[in-house]
Structure 1
Amino acid sequence: MMAWRSAALAALLAGVFIAPAEAGTLRWAPQRDIVSMDPYSFGDTFTLSVLNHVYEGLVRYDSKLQIEPALAESWEVVNPTTWRFHLRKGVKYHDGADFTADDVLASLKRVSDPNSPLRGNLPSYVSSSKVDDYTVDIVVTENYPLLLNDLTNIHIFDQGWLVTNKAEAPTDVAKGVEGYATSHANGTGPFKFVSRKPDAETVFEVNPDWWDKRQHNVDRIVMTPITSAATRVAALISGEIDFTNQAPLQDIPRLEASPDLKVLSNSELRTIFFVMNQTPKAFESDVTDKNPLQDIKVRQALYHAIDADAIQKVVMAGLSRTTGSLVSPSIPGYVPELDKRLSYDPELAKKLLAEAGYPDGFSFSFLCRNTEFVNEEQICQAVSAMWARVGLRPNLNLGPTTIQDAKFDAGQFDVGTLGWANEPMIDSYSILVQVVHSKTGNAGVFNWGGWKDAEIDALIDKAGATVDRDERLALQAKALLRANELSMFIPVHQQPMAWATGANIESVLQLSDNKPRHWLTRMTE
């Protein structure tokens, strides 16, 4: 009892209230909250993974990350530009409405809207049409090979619900555009949305009418974000919470030593790297007439100044995988040549800066989050110190994800962090078309720094129209290697993932995409 009270006091001091345990209730404490109840509002992997409990796509990934039917029972390729999907009959939305082809058309129209932040997740989408109430044709650019991968995270809305609530237009977290779907939800998934207090508590309850076979025994999910690592650990040890998908790396030995807790750890698909703004003038610098980051020598200097091994050993507790690649070895399109890092060489960094005309360095804004990636704040603090040692003057700007991502989207930074897991595609085409490609149509949605290279664009465009898998992956590897040669980005590592479960949890499924799937979770009875 005293332990519970101590943890509860710690939680209250941190501004967090966690409800006492109830049978069948899973108490989930992530490090941060989701950004919206609208899955189209921002391309945030964590938000999409949480909302997968409420909304579903036409297809989904199974327990081996292979594509399987979901709201579509089957599909076929009609011609090089048209896919036909046969929809599942008898599916109900949480409000009782029937799922039909009209819902698919409305959802695809909404997510592909020019103002949709998630339009980059359907880079080759052209149009869709209704064949009958349970058959839909989707038209894409010719010979596009990855439509099924894309559709795993395109959640389907009820058209009638969108119309009734004037929610047909997409919302946008980064631009402050909200709507009914920002704070309400109506899906077909295994859990229903009950209530939400942003940054405090979001509640879901089981959907007894879900079309799929129920494998879990969770009746209710209460998700309470706990930013403080110490408070999360205290709550786990005391039994206040049952699950966190962000166990602090430094506390893993302590958690493993607790007899009632289990720690699940692995390498994630996500690569963490630094992006450098390529606009003609720096955003915030004492170099006022141009942007030093447009000079490859400057970009290489920033790269050579980073001791990635020290970050791996000290900041990441030896659990990350240092890399020179923008994609992990598990991602199709990876080749070993991508993993060759520029050496850690502070003296060479100083020499390159001098050759570029900056012997005394320069100042620049360094934009980071403190609630997004694993130990991101500590990474940015360590790298700031490394850059300072070679004469650079980074102005570290730390803040929560929702605030910082709005700045990224507006180009209000010089250097910043980005992490990419290549989801939902699980293919290197994801990062290439969304991050590396110049901003053109649906491409380059997350090309925040405005970097561009005609040779890379041509390789990506060709890959996007190449059906032969080996040929396509070879083109993608060439594009990634070209990005390395230009030092367009500075890779750091593939980040580790660590989950922890309490005594009330019998089993959870942890895959390399780092997405909790509580429709497969079993609690002790």
Structure 2
Amino acid sequence: MKLCKLLTSVVLASVLLPSAALHAETVRWARSSDPATLDPHAVNLNTNVTFLHQVYEPLVLRTADGKLQPALATSWQVTRDPTVWEFKLRPGVRFHDGAPFGADDVVFSIQRAKAPTSAWKTLLAPVVEVRKVDALTVQLKTSGPNLVLPHTLTNLFIVNAAWSRAHQAEQPQDVSGKDENFATRNENGTGAYQLVSREQDTRTVFRQFPGYWGKGQFPLEVTQIVFQPIKTAATRVAALLSGEVDFVQDVPAQDVARLKADARLRVTEGLENRTIYLGLNVGAGELKYSDVKGRNPLADARVREAFRLAIDRDTLRTAVMRGLSVPAGIITPQFVHGYEKAFDTWPKPDAARARQLLAEAGYPGGFGITLHCPNNRYVNDETICTAVAGFLARIGVRVSVAARPIAQHATAINQADTDFYLYGWAAPTFDSAYIFDYLVHTRGKDGRGSANAIGYSNPDIDAKIASLAAERDPAKRDATIHAIWQTVQQEGFYIALHHQVLDYAMQRKLDIPVSPEDAILFKNVKVGDPAAAR
């Protein structure tokens, strides 16, 4: 793969970092997979978002406790028109090519992120207009009063309008095909780090941007980041133990205890804002990846209930996840507004009852189906799928596990090219509407439903989901959220498995806490004395 470099004098100058920095430090960062693109609006995956947070910035950020804080916007408020939010922009910010940041870039970025090829168009569906008021003020008008709009913007990156136009990258890359644009392999953000070199699936180097606006406001002790995707878990852990890498973000559950016992290392742990679940195609007349012809067994509620009864979540937690998961009955964790403990329940495994339900549905001998699964994204993802296949075999369902890299898996889900799949979902807005917009709303209608690969469509539920973006009364909005969750739980087209627990492992000189969003901002990371930290 061709080595890609930013051909600007600013990048060349960044090699000469200040020698007087108290903690001038390179951090070698390893994950299980590499982002397929640098285009900030083409993919909505944590792997891409966390990677790009180093070089691009949104208007607002979220702290670990869920609060909003200023980023490229210094303040925001609803205007006299309750459908209009106004954002005051940070002065003195420059892009990596030296161009000044301003309102034109925000207007362009929001419009770009609403394009048909954008993975963020669902998130921005309520936004009907974005307009420049002056050089450092923008307004976003929504289809109705929107109580949570700023919360939807924490991962919505701002790009340079002139740079995008000059390089014919006005539209986000269409990752469903093989097309690329200039933003696929190049960047021009305002973030603390800028791209120096990139070799796809091998190595990416970022160095601190000399003109970063946040100097003096953030530690900025990490001066260079070397990102290395290491797909194999054992190799990733071995690289940490040998000192080849400094920080591993995707730690296999089976290695946590061993790493915690190593005095040279530090392991941090926490519950992620993410639920791992199974998706069941209820909308197709006939499944594409099943041996049942002429009908769809997953469209029958009895079959879906049989699947749910076959799953042994406690065994998943103990045998597969080594205790590093929280069994779940709903596809949202406790961080998210609208979560109710009453919904977060699940039945005890009952294979006999499950077989009876399959027989009642017309499948006394079970049937065959493919379970599509990522193999480099979630903690023990492929192993989870293998365990699920074993649980379903007990009730006569013959499952073939088809594991693949997350880039291929996510593309298939975005194209609804799967019948039965494992996926993980988070709500970076910390609000249930995000989950409904992407996973429950009818696919493609009003820009929503882009991750609804199950074919579910309910006009009444669609109307309820759309109303959440315009309801001014918090009590009425909460009642609608409750009603939607009731339907989702009753229909059973998603089977929650567990809320994911994350572990980060690192050399002792680092202390990076687990973020509920599984996001790291290296500008905030402090580098200490490994001996003093013991």
2:43 aligned with 1:68, yes or no? Answer: no
2:268 maps to which of 251, 264, 287: 264
2:228 aligned with 1:224, yes or no? Answer: yes
2:382 aligned with 1:377, yes or no? Answer: yes
Paired letter, 1:328: P
| Alignment correspondent of 1:404 | 409
* CA deviation after TM superposition for structure 1 residue 387, in Å: 0.9
2:346 maps to which of 318, 341, 346: 341
2:511 aligned with 1:471, yes or no? Answer: no
* CA deviation after TM superposition for structure 1 residue 490, in Å: 0.5
Matches within 5 A, 1:256-295: 256-277=260-281, 278-295=283-300
| Alignment correspondent of 2:4 | none
* CA deviation after TM superposition for structure 1 residue 214, in Å: 2.9
| Alignment correspondent of 2:118 | 116
Q: 1:433 to 1:247 in 2, by over 3 A?
A: same
Contact (CA 8 Å) 1:57, 1:70: kept in 2 or not?
A: yes
Paired letter, 2:242: S
| Alignment correspondent of 1:127 | 129
Contact (CA 8 Å) 2:416, 2:452: kept in 1 or not?
A: no
| Alignment correspondent of 2:172 | 170
Contact (CA 8 Å) 1:124, 1:442: kept in 2 or not?
A: no
| Alignment correspondent of 1:47 | 48
* CA deviation after TM superposition for structure 1 residue 63, in Å: 4.5
* CA deviation after TM superposition for structure 1 residue 108, in Å: 0.8
Deviations 1:465-494 (A, max 9, x none): 223334323321221121111112101000
| Alignment correspondent of 2:191 | 189
TM-score normalised over the length of structure 2 = 0.91
* CA deviation after TM superposition for structure 1 residue 220, in Å: 0.2
| Alignment correspondent of 2:28 | 27
| Alignment correspondent of 2:325 | 320
Deviations 1:182-238 (A, max 9, x none): 110010011111111111111110112211223130110000011111112111122
SS at match of 2:323: coil
Q: Distance in 1 between matches of 2:36 and 2:123?
A: 17
Q: Is there any run of 5+ residues in structure 2 with no aligned partner, and where? A: 1-22, 530-534
SS at match of 1:325: coil
Deviations 1:72-118 (A, max 9, x none): 12222121211111211111001100001111111111100122122
| Alignment correspondent of 1:450 | 455
* CA deviation after TM superposition for structure 1 residue 23, in Å: 5.7
* CA deviation after TM superposition for structure 1 residue 64, in Å: 3.1
| Alignment correspondent of 1:90 | 92
| Alignment correspondent of 1:300 | 305
Paired letter, 2:253: L
Paired letter, 2:315: A
| Alignment correspondent of 1:519 | 523
* CA deviation after TM superposition for structure 1 residue 177, in Å: 3.3
Contact (CA 8 Å) 1:174, 1:405: kept in 2 or not?
A: no
TM-score normalised over the length of structure 1 = 0.93
Q: Distance in 2 between matches of 1:146 and 1:175?
A: 33
Paired letter, 2:374: R
Q: Distance in 2 between matches of 1:420 and 1:479?
A: 17
2:161 maps to which of 159, 162, 175: 159
SS at match of 1:25: strand
Paired letter, 1:93: F
Contact (CA 8 Å) 2:454, 2:493: kept in 1 or not?
A: no
SS at match of 2:229: coil
Contact (CA 8 Å) 1:508, 1:520: kept in 2 or not?
A: no
Deviations 1:138-163 (A, max 9, x none): 11111111110111111000001001
Contact (CA 8 Å) 1:464, 1:472: kept in 2 or not?
A: no
Q: Distance in 1 between matches of 2:416 and 2:71?
A: 38
Q: Distance in 2 between matches of 1:311 and 1:64?
A: 28
Deviations 1:317-366 (A, max 9, x none): 01100010111122110112211213311111111111111111111221
Q: Distance in 1 between matches of 2:177 and 2:490?
A: 34
| Alignment correspondent of 1:7 | none
What is the percent sequence identity of the aligned residues? 36
| Alignment correspondent of 1:198 | 200
Q: Distance in 1 between matches of 2:436 and 2:527?
A: 40
Contact (CA 8 Å) 1:325, 1:491: kept in 2 or not?
A: yes
SS at match of 1:219: strand
Contact (CA 8 Å) 2:269, 2:504: kept in 1 or not?
A: yes
Deviations 1:155-182 (A, max 9, x none): 0000010011100011132333321101
Deviations 1:53-76 (A, max 9, x none): 100111111353311111112222
Q: Distance in 2 between matches of 1:243 and 1:46?
A: 15
Deviations 1:245-284 (A, max 9, x none): 1121111111111111000011111001111112221112
| Alignment correspondent of 1:357 | 362
Q: Distance in 2 between matches of 1:443 and 1:465?
A: 15
RMSD: 1.5
Q: Is there any run of 5+ residues in structure 1 with no aligned partner, and where? A: 1-21
* CA deviation after TM superposition for structure 1 residue 50, in Å: 1.4
Q: Distance in 2 between matches of 1:176 and 1:127?
A: 31
Q: 1:168 to 1:110 in 2, by over 3 A?
A: same
Higher mean displacement: 106-115 or 90-99: 106-115
| Alignment correspondent of 1:14 | none
2:242 aligned with 1:238, yes or no? Answer: yes
SS at match of 1:385: helix
Q: Distance in 2 between matches of 1:385 and 1:214?
A: 49
SS at match of 1:265: strand
Contact (CA 8 Å) 1:94, 1:186: kept in 2 or not?
A: yes
What number of residue pairs does the alignment pair up? Answer: 502
SS at match of 1:203: strand
Paired letter, 2:353: L
SS at match of 1:445: coil
Paired letter, 2:27: L
